[in-house]
Amino acid sequence: MSRPVLVLTHAPHEGPGLITRALDELPHRIRTVLDTPDPRLPSLDELGGLVVMGGPMDADDAGHPGLAAERRLLAEAVDADVPVLGVCLGMQILALALGGELHRRNGTEIGFAPVEVVHDDPLLAPLGAAPTVLHWHDDAVALPPGATLLARSATTPVQAFRAGSAVGLQFHVEIDRTLLDLWLTTPVMVDDLADGDADLIRTQGAHHLPGLVPAAVAGLSTFADAVRARG
């Protein structure tokens, strides 16, 4: 049996969603170490892969001491060629772990909008050249040294990157209808939206998700394949 994938979360409503579906029968564990000063994280030889999910905090927020432990584990995982996937906040933590910079309040992107895919990568290939995906962020990162830019938008120059065994995605390929409905009924997610924005995002989701979900699962399955290859 493959070694388990560790999924690190930062908010109860921001779970792995479609990533779990793509992992299929692969074992995985979900943990939250956000506010633990010295969390006992598994050693890399115990892990088949590492996934770091989103959350509302800043990636360098010293008020959440567990983030420093996540950065250390991410840097070690990339050095050890362990398959890594970072999503939204997870992508920003990954970028910091690899020597990139965080740009706070770079520009708000919330809702479904296209990104431009600028480099072929197995994880993004099923989405197409200009997929419409879900955004929910206002921070951004600079491309880490040595990383390859995979996707961009006008507001966010680094929407996705690859660095060795790791892929970072600023947008949310893990979203399905159930997870989107959860977000749109979670006060911390919607309280700052303008009137009508939640209804608009729900309508956008009904239009885009039927095509986006199978493409996202196909791309995420390449991450699962990398975990299987690690054994």
Q: What is the mean pLDDT of the chain?
A: 97
What does the pLDDT look like over 90-111, one tens digit per residue? 999 999 999 999 999 999 999 9
pLDDT on residue 231: 82
Nearest alpha-carbon partner for 74 in 41, 40, 123, 119: 41
Residue 172 falls in the annotated catalytic set: yes
Active site residue: 64, 88, 109, 135, which one? 88
Where do the H-state alpha helices sit in the chain?
18-23, 66-79, 89-97, 177-183, 187-190, 197-230
| pLDDT higher than 70, residue 1 | no
Nearest alpha-carbon partner for 170 in 80, 99, 108: 108
Active site residue: 64, 135, 137, 172, which one? 172
- In this prediction the pTM is 0.97
What does the pLDDT look like over 184-231, one tens digit per residue? 999 999 999 999 999 999 999 999 999 999 999 999 999 999 999 998
Share of the chain above pLDDT 90, in %: 99
Active site residue: 14, 70, 109, 174, which one? 174
Domain 5-230 annotated CATH 3.40.50.880: yes
Residues 23-51 have a mean pLDDT of 95
Residue 207 falls in the annotated catalytic set: no
Residue 25 falls in the annotated catalytic set: no
| pLDDT higher than 90, residue 14 | yes
pLDDT on residue 2: 80
What does the pLDDT look like over 148-192, one tens digit per residue? 999 999 999 999 999 999 999 999 999 999 999 999 999 999 999
3-state secondary structure of 87: strand
